[in-house]
A = this chain, B = another copy of it.
Amino acid sequence: MATPTRLASAAALIAHPARAAMLQALMAGEALTAGELARTAGIAPSTASAHLAALAGGALVVAHAQGRHRWFRLANDDVAAILESLMGLAELARPARRWPHGEALRTARTCWDHLAGRLGVALRQGLVERGMLRPALGGWEATAAGHAWLERTGVDVAAARRARRFACDCMDWSERRPHLGGGLARALCTLCLARGWLRRQPGEGLARRAVVPTPEGVRRLREAFGVRVEAAAGQAASD
């Protein structure tokens, strides 16, 4: 009876609406304070504190005290992958005929530390079609042309190579097709945000995951990656 119980308790950490809301917010990739997470989940700070202690105990999040704040973030990308696949499972169980989460989220969002949604899927497709990536053991590696081109574009390829995985497929929960994960995808996401091509949404909770392309971003993404995105038009998720 040992293992089923452990399986159950691992899932139980995610199974609570308030904890799920916090985890969703953390899926944006940034660290958040206990107070922010409490507000996001719509519960009292004391309640949130107990939940966060449970999540930390289950190795789903890690805490980092700084001054009178405590910053929480997801423990690692494995946790993010599990959350995404569970989202996919939920979607599969009740395929919504109407997408209820706001168009912005579907257009472009972050998945832990990389890009997802239509943008993420298109990005992967663009890189592969242009011969920048080729299949490798358990994922993708850069071709010679791809490596040169990435460096020229300003991607920190060296940092990407230090990651556990350079580039791998990560199933997109809304598009049902893979987008790119791993060190390269992280570097790309960082680049787009640093250059101001994409901007994070100010909202809370799930809406926090959405990113919207700036006018310059629309142009650059088309030029650099051959990705067609619309400028910020969709409404943010109502959370």
Measured CB to CB, the residues of A under 8 A from B are 1-17, 19-21, 23-24, 41-42, 57-60, 78-79, 81-83, 85-94, 100-101, 135-139, 169, 178, 205-206, 237, 239
Contact = CB atoms under 8 A, between A and B. Distances in A.
Question: A6, A11, A88 — which one has the most chain B CB atoms within 10 A of its CB?
Answer: A11
Contacts of A2: 100-101, 206
Contact of A20 (B11, B19, B81, B100): B11
B4 A8 contact: no
Contact of A4 (B21, B88, B91): B21
A126 to B, nearest CB: 16
A86 B11 contact: yes
Contacts of A82: 82, 85-86, 89
A10 B92 CA distance: 10
A25 to B, nearest CB: 8
A169 B17 CA distance: 32
Given A11-B11, A15-B15, A135-B135, A6 B81 contact: no
